[in-house]
Structure 1
């Protein structure tokens, strides 16, 4: 437990300091390549659900086997080697700095009134069509991405890693990566990606709600945000999304910032009528991207301290 706590803290610090440099090999990209290869091998229109289920099982089996083998070998060599390897694995699982860095590219472009650059930057982090977005739409898209990925990319992987080490952390990341690649409700993936999408919903059910509550708490501690309104909008709008989890954090963020998020958006050239989240107490502005990132970082620190405190309590007992 002591080794795990040291590695858990070290991985978090490395992520905050280093992020995800493009030149650095990344296990999540390897998992993505594995999913692509398995999809080429397994995809058929016939028995699509069963084949998608097999893809999920194979992806998770390979991911867990490799992650556990690397970790066991490292600790077998020496406990210090194990701590170093576990720290690096934990670092790869988290995406705190990367989320902030990529979303702030949007903010910086909007600050310079460079709408085209902002559209391009936001297109790198969202799934919707961005070619026709105005400055408000661009800012909203970036804010929603930070709000949603605060759970998927920071809090959920942190919780799973705290609970079961990097092996369970990579298990979660594999599920989340499968959902982002094949979890779409279109002609190709409607049945093939169902197993991946449902498993992702299950794994994110509790973390998304914990993350939303942390947003409410942190919003109450900041003079620029409203904890009272965050709680109000969270309770009212947290199910205004087809996903059972996505609107949890988006509603808390919308309330905290006193803005309205979501609403109709274009995906793959087709307009999707999505309900709004929050109240338009004031207009959305690019500075809100900076504010939501500040909240996201506070939530990450809050969760890290909570996880370490629980682990320390268990260790003492």
Structure 2
């Protein structure tokens, strides 16, 4: 019950304030641990990648469990408030929404989208930029919102922090390129496992918010994605918007053949991005309502 209260308050804090500029973001600290290990012990082997994962998760687990045990000794109300404040820093719906919305208003859309995606942006046309924006919003709705909230609700403050450590490792070293093909393999696989359930919850949520009749129809195209998870929320978003996402994309100077997700037009417009972002309020209301109902249900047991 304490975890649910913490999740409720943390989600509300993220909605109101987003990132706290006056505090060094803990994900930056986790990134520092990853860089620290890589600068000293990098070798493009699976074993070194395993050592990286053990080092980062061991360090983060020690710190997060230590904080959790310390807070458990203080007044429960104060514990929930502090835990919620800390947990909110690992949620990113407001930052995600604001970042994607910036693509719409910026005079230099390529520069803005280059900060959000790993794909090459130099040759992008306007439709490509809008497509990347929508895919980013859909995928990160899982990675940055639903997944951390899922692990916070189940395992408390250590759960959300450890999840973000896994997710950060994947975002930094989980690439299939010359440098990280082997070194990042363990981190990438662990991230796949951690996101398996949240990605599908996110896809169902998107389908529900867009009032799609066949709520599980995202499975058909979603399973075509290289990632065992990313294709599902992306497909759900495509179906909700009546467009096709995916398609051939350049990464690190090389064209990568990708399937299409969804069945609509491939020409993505500004209005499609606005429609994708329009589910932000509905998402927040739905999540807060579900958490409240879960709290009441447990309270009544």
TM-score, normalised with respect to structure 1: 0.90
Partner deviation per Cα, 1:28-48 (whole Å, 9 max, x = no partner)? 111011111111222113xx1
User: 1:277: which partner in 2?
Assistant: 261
Partner deviation per Cα, 1:122-141 (whole Å, 9 max, x = no partner)? 11111101111111110000
Please report how far the alpha carbon of residue 61 of structure 1 lies from its aligned counterpart in structure 2 after TM superposition.
1.5
- Kindly indicate whether residue 237 of structure 2 is the aligned counterpart of residue 240 of structure 1: no
Please report how far the alpha carbon of residue 288 of structure 1 lies from its aligned counterpart in structure 2 after TM superposition.
1.7
User: 1:32: which partner in 2?
Assistant: 31
Q: Given the superposition, is the C-alpha separation of residues 198 and 304 from structure 1 closer, same or farther in structure 2, using an over 3 Å criterion?
A: farther
User: 1:161: which partner in 2?
Assistant: 152
User: 1:121: which partner in 2?
Assistant: 112
User: 1:217: which partner in 2?
Assistant: 208
TM-score, normalised with respect to structure 2: 0.94
Residues 5 and 295 in structure 2, CA contact (< 8 A), matched pair in contact too: no
Q: Secondary structure at the residue paired with 1:271?
A: strand
Structure 2: runs of 5 or more not aligned: none
Q: In the comparison of the two structures, how many residue pairs are matched?
A: 301
Residues 52 and 193 in structure 1, CA contact (< 8 A), matched pair in contact too: yes
Q: Given the superposition, is the C-alpha separation of residues 205 and 285 from structure 1 closer, same or farther in structure 2, using an over 3 Å criterion?
A: same
Residues 212 and 252 in structure 1, CA contact (< 8 A), matched pair in contact too: yes
Partner deviation per Cα, 1:28-87 (whole Å, 9 max, x = no partner)? 111011111111222113xx1111111111211111211121232233233233122111
Please report how far the alpha carbon of residue 212 of structure 1 lies from its aligned counterpart in structure 2 after TM superposition.
0.3
- Kindly indicate whether residue 301 of structure 2 is the aligned counterpart of residue 310 of structure 1: no
Pick from 205, 224, 237: which aligns with 1:253? 237
User: 1:4: which partner in 2?
Assistant: 3
Pick from 64, 68, 71: which aligns with 1:67? 64
- Kindly indicate whether residue 288 of structure 2 is the aligned counterpart of residue 287 of structure 1: no
Structure 1: runs of 5 or more not aligned: 221-226
Q: Secondary structure at the residue paired with 1:77?
A: coil
Quote the Cα distance in structure 2 between the aligned partners of 1:130 and 1:21: 29
Residues 71 and 85 in structure 1, CA contact (< 8 A), matched pair in contact too: no
User: 1:83: which partner in 2?
Assistant: 80
Residues 260 and 279 in structure 1, CA contact (< 8 A), matched pair in contact too: yes
Residues 3 and 154 in structure 2, CA contact (< 8 A), matched pair in contact too: no
- Farther-moved stretch of structure 1 (153-162 vs 305-314): 305-314
User: 1:13: which partner in 2?
Assistant: 12
Pick from 90, 93, 97: which aligns with 1:96? 93
User: 1:224: which partner in 2?
Assistant: none
- The alignment yields a C-alpha RMSD, in angstroms, of 1.7
Partner deviation per Cα, 1:137-178 (whole Å, 9 max, x = no partner)? 100000000010010000111111011111101111110000
